[in-house]
Structures are given as structure tokens and as C-alpha cells.
Amino acid sequence: ELIIFDFCLEPTPTMNKLLSLIVTVAALAAPALSHAADPAATAEARVAAFKKMLRTFEPMGTVVRERDPYRKDAFAEQAKTLQMLAREPWPLFVPGTAVGKSRAKPEIWSQPDAFKKEQQGMIVAVDALAASAQAGDIKDIRAKYATLANTCKSCHDSFRAPQR
Ligand code: ASC
């Protein structure tokens, strides 16, 4: 007992390291665990992340199609926002979350390499659009926007189920 008390009052550097490791691992694991524990909330968050992305992507499309004037700085800012938003849905494809409004096909989880390739293609395309928007050549922007839209379609063709 004395030994135990001694141990409690005088944490050694090794114990402190161990404790901080445990806290770190728990903090990192918590979001993944909560998604696993609540598939409906995860699916909802994922659908919302795609919708948020569209709320930037669509007005950019209006400019690209010349329905709205092209303004370099505003467009570059939207592209930057899109770059950030484009990274949000992917960690939310947690196994067991094809529920509710989700149109996620089982192939997302049975063909993870092919699904990962689609994600990477999309990220490359959104980064290229942002770089182009920074440069400000509308003809190039138009091409990069089309390439990005094609990555949406490509992934949907393989991995998104028809509307239910
Ligand atoms: C969009 C949207 C998609 C893609 C795709 C492009 O605006 O919602 O899924 O572009 O239609 O082919």
C-alpha cells in the first residue's frame, strides 16, 4: 500500500509520458469511435459536407458558364474555400454508415483502393482549379473546372447509388 501511495504522489517521467500517450490516443480515437457509434449522424454529416461543397461549386459554375461576371479575386477565394471543403467528406466514409439519406454503394468499402483513387483524382483536380484561379486565366479556369466536374461524375458512376 505504501508503495502504491508513493507511486501516486510522485509520478515518474516514464509515467507522465505513458499518461500523455494514453490521453493522446484517446483524443485521436474519439471521433472515429463516435462515428462508429452513430452511423446515422455520420451519414448526415457526410451528406451535409457534400452539400456545403456544392454551395461553392455551383456559383463557380455559373461564372464559368458566363451567367455571372468573372471577378478574379472573388473566384480565387471561392476556389480556395472549395479546396478546403473538398477534403471534408472522405474521412466520414466510415464502414456501416450507408444509412438514411446516404447513397453510398457497398463498393466504397469493398473496393477501397478504387475509391481512394477517385478521391485523390478529385483532390488533384480541385488543387489545380485553385492554382488556375490564382493565376486568373478564365480559359484555363474553365478547363480545370470541367476536369473537376468530371471527377465528381466518375466517382458517382462507380460509387453512388441512384436516388431512392
Ligand atoms: C455538379 C454536381 C455533380 C457534378 C457532375 C459533373 O455540379 O452536382 O455531381 O457537377 O454533375 O458532371
Ligand 1 centroid to 72 CA: how many Å? 23
Q: Give the model's pLDDT for residue 35.
A: 63
- CA distances from residue 21 to 16, 26, 27, 95 in whole angstroms, order as listed: 8, 9, 10, 27
* pTM for this predicted structure: 0.81
59 lines ligand 1 (CB under 6 A): no
Q: Give the model's pLDDT for residue 22.
A: 78
Q: Give the model's pLDDT for residue 36.
A: 67
E-state strands within the chain: none
User: Are 82 and 129 a contacting pair, CB within 8 Å?
Assistant: yes
149 lines ligand 1 (CB under 6 A): yes
The CA angle 70-135-150, to the nearest 5 degrees, is: 70
Q: Give the model's pLDDT for residue 34.
A: 64
Nearest to 141 by CA among 74, 93, 51, 86: 74
The CA distance from 35 to 45, in Å, is 10
User: Are 90 and 117 a contacting pair, CB within 8 Å?
Assistant: no
> Best of 63, 78, 152, 155 to mutate for ligand 1, by most ligand atoms within 8 A of CB?
152
**Cβ-based neighbours of 44, under 8 Å, separated by 6 or more:** 100, 101
> Best of 153, 154, 158, 160 to mutate for ligand 1, by most ligand atoms within 8 A of CB?
153
Q: Give the model's pLDDT for residue 15.
A: 75
Nearest to 60 by CA among 43, 93, 83, 30: 83
143 lines ligand 1 (CB under 6 A): no
Name the grid cell of 114: 478504387
3-state secondary structure of 97: coil
pLDDT, averaged in runs of 10, over the chain (164 residues): 54 80 77 75 98 98 98 98 98 97 97 98 98 98 98 98 88
Ligand 1 centroid to 146 CA: how many Å? 10
Q: Hey, what amino acid is at 87?
A: R
